[in-house]
Structure 1
Amino acid sequence: MKQYHELLEHVLKSGTEKSDRTGTGTFSSFGHQMRFNLQEGFPLVTTKKVPFKLIVSELLWFIKGDTNIKYLLKHNNHIWDEWAFKKWVESDVYNGPDMTDFGLRSLKDEEFKEMYKEQMNIFQKNVLNDEQFANRFGDLGSVYGKQWREWNKSNGETIDQLREVISSIKHSPDSRRHIVSAWNPEDVPTMALPPCHTLFQFYVANGKLSCQLYQRSGDLFLGIPFNIASYALLTHLVANECGLEPGEFIHTIGDAHIYSNHIDQVQTQLKRDFKKLPSLSITDDKSIFDLEPEDIKIKNYNPHPAIKAPVAV
């Protein structure tokens, strides 16, 4: 993972200080690429613990075409809670304490933080137990799963991009059109968060499947380790589905940034030494579309301890 650390160091030293949508502020650099040979181990960051189970359940959520956080909550995954929660507390049915700017306020005000936790707990329980509430406030709009599996056409029909690209890899491996796009300009306004990882392309050579991701925006400390592992896992899963070996994962990032309230955490991580990469275990007798989290396991993962940092919403 040396190249990931080198990117963190580069942005710390040479990044441009910029404002951002969340009001947090970032240090940013534009246009970077990392390459991971998946034959050399699974690229899960070892200089801090990354919760692999969350990566698995989120990716399977995308693959299933789901856009409601109910599936994630059932698997104890809270990656997307804040965006759905924001939708609820800004609605006309919410009657609890003022949650304006809850992300930033919870970092500075302990009394508010407790109120925020209480309201989030209420929200999560309602999503899990009240179908009508979940349908209204648990859904994040036309985010990744919708675009991958049910892209809207102008004639009212839909395109299952993921299933089609898998078929294309199997039947026309040398095609240069093995592409899935999550960036649908018409749907961006209806998404809780416009896709950061916008487009990926597969490439077949010498019996191996490689994948290149273009990511328009990358939170280097919190998000990018997830993205690396998620798309490396996707490459493994599609390779299995198509009877190929995994090749490379190539990660191309547009705006690569470190949030201003992550600087101390990044500096802590950069002082740590690298450990041996883990390996991946996948149930072989299931289609990619039928996999559940228990079918995917990581082996020999012995990272440094986790480093907590706030999520900018």
Structure 2
Amino acid sequence: MASTFLRDDSRPDPNHWEYQYLDLMRRIWEEGSERQDRTGVGTRSIMGAILRFDLADGAMPLITTKRVYWKTATREMLWFLTGSTNIRPLVLQGVKIWNEWPHARYLLETGDRMSLDDFVARIIEDDAFAAQWGDLGPVYGKQWVDWPTYEQAGEDEQGALFRKGEGINQVAEVVRSLRDNPGSRRHIIEGWNVAQLDSMALPPCHKTYQFHVAGERLNLALYQRSCDVALGLPFNLWGAAIMLRMMAQQTGHEPGELVWMGGDTHLYLNHAHLIEEQLSRQPAGTPRLELRQADSIFDYTIDDFSVTGYDPHPPIKAPVAV
């Protein structure tokens, strides 16, 4: 399918960083393999993609060809760092991006036809209901800051007995290792806990973060096993970039390069209007982030983040595939 995307010779600023994102979107839409997927919506997909962004001087990969609600994405990342797995703290901040998954589980398990709006209102108003139905299972933050361990507690006639051990805070460990052993190749935060995937509302898409020190600069490579390029990737790029910025600040480094790598990198077939509209737009400006110092990587609040130079095109609405 041909798009209305403006080609290289008609770009006002052909070197603008955002063309990496737009070129990837166009490539998938025009050349991707059309296939069915878990959601039943259908996608066009390619395998393997790489985007690179230099975060020097406060620059951030904040998409300008449609408005990205960066405060929502920031609140989500800060929620991950708390280790919480319940949507209630997000809902109380007006963040809606995880609501569909527990709502779908509620409908399936109860047979009740409660609307999404009524479900979210009940999450806010009813502590017990939120505890029962607002939990997503051991998703992202749980694995990042409290990866489960088990230790032998004895034996019986059937073999060894185990009890739950102390959880591993991968984020804290990476902060420590970046400070104490910057040349290590083990600065990794991993979310793909095979033993617990079936307990998660959604297995981690942005699954592996690896940091790399080059002189005074801190780089980050993010591997994402599955990526919705139209709706998810703008959030994922921002989330990874603020993770790099926070980690650099906490370990005494300058922000370096963000390298994003996608596995199954796709566009949903019901996002055609979004894709065609966005590919007809031209990026502009260089958004920058001012980040106020926090005592630790777990102490940042939304008020510590300030974006300048961001004047995006209007938002483009599209449905989320659950």
- TM-score (norm. length: structure 1): 0.91
Task: Give yes or no for the alignment of 1:263 onto 2:272.
Answer: yes
Query: Using the alignment, how far apart are the partners of 1:290 and 1:134 within structure 2?
Result: 25
Structure 1: unaligned runs, 5 residues or longer: 98-118
Q: Per-residue CA shift, 1:153-210, capped at 9, x if unaligned?
A: 1322211111111111010000000001100010000000011111110001111111
User: What are the residue-to-residue correspondences of 1:147-186 with 2, within 5 Å?
Assistant: 147-155=143-151, 156-157=164-165, 158-186=167-195
Residue pairs, 1:211-250, within 5 angstroms: 211-250=220-259
Residue in structure 2 matched with residue 28 of structure 1 by the alignment: 45
Higher Cα Rg, which structure: 2
Quote how far apart the aligned CAs of 1:62 are: 0.5
**2:249–2:293 Cα contact (<8 Å) kept:** yes
Task: For residue 42 of structure 1, give the secondary structure of its aligned residue in structure 2.
Answer: coil
1:273 is matched with 282
Q: Which amino acid aligns with 2:181?
A: S
Give the CA RMSD over aligned residues.
Answer: 1.1
User: 2 CA distance for matches of 1:5 and 1:120?
Assistant: 32
Contact 2:48 / 2:261 at 8 angstroms: preserved in 1?
yes
State the distance in 2 between where 1:128 and 1:43 align. 33
**Is 2:84 the partner of 1:66?**
yes
Listed as ranges, the gaps of 5+ residues in structure 2 are 1-17, 152-163
State the alpha-carbon separation in 1 of the partners of residues 228 and 286 from structure 2.
Answer: 22
Q: Residue 232 of structure 1 aligns to which amino acid in structure 2?
A: A
1:125-147 CA distance string (max 9 Å, x none): 22112111111111100100000
Counterpart amino acid of residue 20 in structure 2: Q
Q: Is the 8 A contact 2:294 2:300 kept in 1?
A: no
Alpha-carbon deviation of 1:264? 2.1
In 1, are the aligned partners of 2:206 and 2:224 still within 8 Å (CA)? Answer: yes
Q: % of aligned pairs identical?
A: 42
1:79-132 per-residue CA deviation (whole Å, 9 max, x = no partner) reads 00000111211223x5336xxxxxxxxxxxxxxxxxxxxx22221122112111
Question: How far apart are 1:3 and its partner, in Å?
Answer: 0.6
Q: Which amino acid aligns with 2:303?
A: E
User: Is structure 2 residue 261 aligned with structure 1 residue 252?
Assistant: yes
Whether 2:94 is the aligned partner of 1:85: answer no
**Structure 1 counterpart SS, 2:109:** coil
The match for 2:27 is 10
